Chains A and B, each alone.
Chain A
């Protein structure tokens, strides 16, 4: 491993081959990009499932990863666009603040966990706990989401073109969940709610922002949200806690 005291200097940030350059050298160079940076586009080759790839970015830069990323890719993202041409491991875009993260393949568990803002688009499926404790992010999954998705979700929207696994929206706060396909089961305090025009408008707006306007009929979604029965402790609900 390269010594932290003597990092490998990158010859160019236009294209970085992780078969030749240590991950830390890439991430350090990406972290050094400031608001005035000229770098607008970075291609990353041979990620080979590396963890924390392009995590902690805070600049208006586009990073395209060609291959499969490991855990926490684009975690804590701010302003940046990160596109993974492949699949992403656990916790893609976890705690994202703003920006756009796009996975063309599947995402593993806890995609978009605790994310405060920005857009997370997953073209394939997302596995368990997608959007767990989300706090304002908009997540669009073109495939299906696994069990316990949107667990304790607080704010933001989760749009799922396919199906949702067991216990969708368990202990949900104010996040809005829209699912086109089947829902295996709803978690505690998550209920289906009527779809109104403002919700259809919201779906359209979110799809457009994710680059998916017109991809599916907005009226084909069903809406789920919090019954707000678990907000305050009530002894009759003790068994649900």
Chain B
């Protein structure tokens, strides 16, 4: 199983409510995925600064890490703890240096996301507990996606939780299971894509990363996945400006969408959408199989 939720706000007045609404949607999907949960929030940020969201091993000292990183990369570093994770802000031209230094300074660090607006948090446990650990209800932003996991293809670990980063400000969540992930993983490893787990979704994320690095648009990369990835899936991808949805050609996994003047929302089940304001009069519909959809903020 697994549950997916997504919320894209059209009405800026709802932005302070994003975290609260996403947390409520995520909690309803506990039945579909009680093993672990995660979410990506697109909130504040600037073009000069990049946010690196990391999961730190227990006992890591925040101040210590911040000052050590600032010294080694030779630039200002801000660090904000949220539960087991931390958001590290570095100047845009120091991102590569920071990503290279982090594993040296903090062995065992997991980089959950990199981007100007996106922050990714994920942890093992019931969705309600995971939301609370990161204080999701207090987060604000323009859009977000979330995932509740019922593990099928690999172990219940934080590394096995979704979302998976596929590039700057971009991530993937998945409901379903891929049957050719070992084959695709071996091929991608030859192309230089690194993997941390035996997880099938990480392979889908790696596949998208590989296509994007080769110059595909996200839409083209998703189209290509229809041919190369075999199995059952509903994918939701978060992007800097919105989110995209793709279901496998036989629409094996559920998906329902709701749209009003104020938002576009995605849920694995309609139940997850019932916490949203005005859902009673929303336009509710199902995305077609093998069709790539995007909901984007106008540039």
Contact residues of A with B, CB < 8 Å?
48-51, 67-68, 70-71, 87, 89-90, 105-106, 108-109, 127-128, 146-148
Contacts and interface: CB of A to CB of B under 8 A. Distances in A.
A67 B274 CA distance: 11
B269 A71 contact: yes
For chain B, give the interface size range: 10 to 19
Contact of B274 (A48, A51, A146): A48
Contacts of A67: 280
Interface string B249-261: 0110010100000
Interface string B186-229: 00000000000000000000000000000000000000000000
B273 interface: yes
B11 interface: no
B260 to A, nearest CB: 14
A132 to B, nearest CB: 11
B286 A108 contact: yes
A154 B270 CA distance: 30
Contacts of A148: 250
Given A87-B284, A90-B254, A70 B289 contact: no
Mostly, the A contact residues are loop
Contacts of B269: 49, 70-71, 89
B285 interface: yes
Contacts of A105: 284
B284 A68 contact: yes
Contacts of A90: 254
The residue among B271, B280, B288 with the most chain A CB atoms within 10 A of its own CB is B271
A127 B270 contact: no
Interface string B263-286: 000000111011000001000111
Contact of B271 (A70, A87, A106, A128): A70
A146 B255 CA distance: 14
Given A128-B251, A147-B251, A106 B285 contact: yes
Contact of A48 (B271, B284, B289): B271
Given A67-B280, A106-B284, A109-B254, A87 B270 contact: yes
A51 B284 CA distance: 17
